[in-house]
Structure formats: structure tokens, C-alpha cells
Structure 1
Amino acid sequence: MNLVEKIYEGIKEFIDVFITKYEYENRGIIKKIRIDSRLNLNIDEEMWSKLFLYKSCYNYCAKIIMLRYLEDNKLTYVKMNKSGFNKWKEFVKNISERFSLLYDVAIMDLQEDKNNTIRNIFKSSDYDLFRIDDELAGLLYKNFSGIDFSNLEVKELISVFRKIYSLEKREDLNLEKFYKRAPAFFYLLRLEENKRIL
């Protein structure tokens, strides 16, 4: 299995669990976001919630891929790969099943990074409403900690994201025009035009 397929298989499992876990959660908050924003009111409430959930999920997928890419290219301190986890186990005794803590620390670090592009990719947004809990973070660790993202090229990154958010899904969901911009999701969509990572 090539690198693109390995990453896609891991992210596909994450998407399935994420959508199942959060399909009916936070509906009241999403309804309030819809009403307060007054955006896309032509879309019925049920579909609006579905689009919000999927855009949130794909934004997390983009964050995860970029996080691992940055870690393996030594552009940030490692937390979500094997060597990073092993270092953290030396410092924090009970971290073994608390992968969400490592994920949260990794994201906070990137939100404060000196590189403006990196900060913008990981910037907080409404799409962070659904949390990466220990189950989801553990799944990310299991699926991605052993994959080396350092050799991931732009065309491979684009291929992974096209598998996640295929042309069919783009036509069906049209998430680019839905509600507000999701920072990491938008960044990976723009890679098709920019043709370079960072």
C-alpha cells in the first residue's frame, strides 16, 4: 500500500467514527449558529447541520494531515508520532490513554507558531465545536503514528484530500460556499492552485 492509500485508510476510519459520534450532538448550538449568522438560510435546518458537521470533520482531517506533516518535517515539536509520544510518556506518568491531551497541546503550539501560514491553518473556528476526544485522538495515533509524513509531496497531499473530499462530494455538498471558511480545509483546497506546501 502506498503512502496516499495508507493515509487515506486511516483518515477514512477517523471520518466514520467522527460522523457517527457527532451526527446528533450539539444540534441546539448549531441551530443557534445558523440563526445568528443568517448565512445559507436557504438550506433547511437538517441539511445545514449535516453540512456543518462534514465541514468540521474535513477541517479536522486537514489539521491532522498538516500536523503530522509538520511534525515529521521537524517544523514543530513532535507529539502525535511514536517518538513524540514516547518523549511525553517520560514526562507525564498517566498519558498512555489520554491522546486528546497531546492533540490539544500540538494544536495550541501550532496556533502560536511564529510562521503566519501555520498559525492561520490551525486558527480556531466555529468548526472546532466538535472535540477530538480520547477515542478519536487514540484512533489518530494508532493510524498515523507509524507513518512517515516527511516525504509527502504536494501532489500526494492533493491526492489524499481528493480522496477524502472527492469531486462527487464537492458537487453534492459544495462546502466551499457553505457558512464560513474552515481554515485547514480551505488551505488544503487551495493547494491545488498553489502547488506548494507552506
Structure 2
Amino acid sequence: MDKLQELYEKLSEFMDHFIVKYSYENRGILKKMRIDSRLNMNIEEEEWCKLFLYKSCLNHCAKIVLMRLIEDRGLGHDKLNEKGLEKWRDFVKNLGKDFDILYHIGLLDLQGDENVSIRGIFKKSDYDIFGIDKELADLIIEKFSAVTFGDLRREDIIQLFNRLYTLEDREIMRLEAFHKDAPALTYILKLEKKNVLL
């Protein structure tokens, strides 16, 4: 199986878990966000919540791919790849399996990175209301820690996200225009217009 197919299958599995996990969580908060933002009020409330969840999920997928790409290219400290996991297990004995903590440390590192572009990709957004908990972090580690992301090209990432968020989905959902910006997802969706990756 080629790498893009493998990543597509693993990210699809992550998305399925994420959507099932959060389908009915935080509904009250989402309804309040919808009313407070006054954005996309023409969309029925239930559909608005589904679009928000789906955009959040895709934003997390983008973060996972970009975080691992940054690690494997040596642009950030290893956290979620095999080297990072080995350091984590050596460093902390009683938290060795709490990968959600490791994931969040990795995010904090990138949110404070000296590179403005990297900081912007990982900045907090409304879509972080659905977070990566222990269950999802375990899935991320299980599925992605052994996969090498460093050799992914710009075209590969575009192709991968064209499969995760198809042209048909883009026509129907129009997530780019929905609510507010999801920084990591926006970065990936704009790659087609850029000549460089990070």
C-alpha cells in the first residue's frame, strides 16, 4: 500500500472516531457560539453544529499531518514520532502512556515557535472546543508514530486532503466560508495556490 493510501485510511479512521465521539457533546456551547457570532445564521441549527464539528475534525487532521511533517523535517522538536515517544517514555515514568499530554506539549511548542508561519498554523481557534483527549491521542500515536512524514511533498498533502474533503464535499459544505477560520485546515487548503510547503 502506498503512503498516501495508508495516511488516507488512518486519517479516515481518526475522523470516524472524532465525529462519533463529539457528535452530541458541547451542543449548548455550540448553540451559544452560533448566536454570539451571528455567522451563518441562514444555516439550520443542527446542520450548523454538524458543519462546525466536521471543520474542527479536518482542522485536527491538518494539525496532525503538519505537526508530524515539522518534526520529521527537523523544524521542531520530536514529540509524536518514534524518537519523540522514546524520549517521552524515558523522561516520564508515571505519565508514559498519557499521550494526550505529549500531544498538547507539542501543540504548545508550535504555538510558541519562532517561525511566524508555524505559529499561525497552530494558533488556537474556536474549533479547539473539540480537543484531543487521551483516547484520540492514543489513536494518533498508534496510527501515525511509525509513519515517516518528512518525505511528503506539497502535492501529496494536497492530494490527501482532496480525498478527505472531496470536491463534492466542498461544494455542499463550503467549510472555507463557514463560521471562522480554522488555521491549519486553511493553510492546507491554500497550498494549491502556494509553491512552498512550510
The TM-score normalised by the length of structure 2 is 0.98
CA distance in 1, matches of 2:142, 2:160: 18
Match of residue 176 from structure 1: 176
Match of residue 127 from structure 2: 127
- Contact 2:154/2:197 (<8 A) preserved: yes
CA distance in 2, matches of 1:175, 1:72: 29
Post-superposition Cα deviations, 1:124-180, rounded to whole Å, max 9, x if no partner, equal: 000000110111111111111111111100110111111111111111111011000
Match of residue 152 from structure 2: 152
Match of residue 23 from structure 2: 23
Match of residue 186 from structure 1: 186
Letter of the 2:99 partner, please give it: F
Question: Bigger CA drift: 17-26 or 86-95?
Answer: 86-95
Match of residue 101 from structure 2: 101
Any runs of at least 4 consecutive aligned residues in structure 1 with deviations exceeding 3 A, and if so which? none
Letter of the 1:5 partner, please give it: Q
Please report how far the alpha carbon of residue 3 of structure 1 lies from its aligned counterpart in structure 2 after TM superposition: 1.4
Please report how far the alpha carbon of residue 195 of structure 1 lies from its aligned counterpart in structure 2 after TM superposition: 3.0
- Contact 2:88/2:96 (<8 A) preserved: no
CA distance in 2, matches of 1:95, 1:158: 36
- Contact 2:122/2:183 (<8 A) preserved: yes
CA distance in 1, matches of 2:81, 2:135: 16
Runs of at least 5 residues in structure 2 that lack an aligned partner in the other structure: none
Give the match's secondary structure for 2:190. helix
Match of residue 84 from structure 2: 84
Please report how far the alpha carbon of residue 196 of structure 1 lies from its aligned counterpart in structure 2 after TM superposition: 1.5
- Contact 2:55/2:127 (<8 A) preserved: yes
**Kindly, what percent of the aligned residue pairs are identical?**
52
Letter of the 2:66 partner, please give it: M
Match of residue 40 from structure 2: 40
Match of residue 50 from structure 2: 50
Equivalenced residue count is: 198
Post-superposition Cα deviations, 1:41-87, rounded to whole Å, max 9, x if no partner, equal: 00010000000000000000000000000000010001101110110
Letter of the 1:18 partner, please give it: F
Tell me if 1:10 matches 2:10.
yes
Give the match's secondary structure for 2:152. coil
Please report how far the alpha carbon of residue 94 of structure 1 lies from its aligned counterpart in structure 2 after TM superposition: 2.2
Letter of the 1:133 partner, please give it: D
The TM-score normalised by the length of structure 1 is 0.98
CA distance in 2, matches of 1:167, 1:96: 41
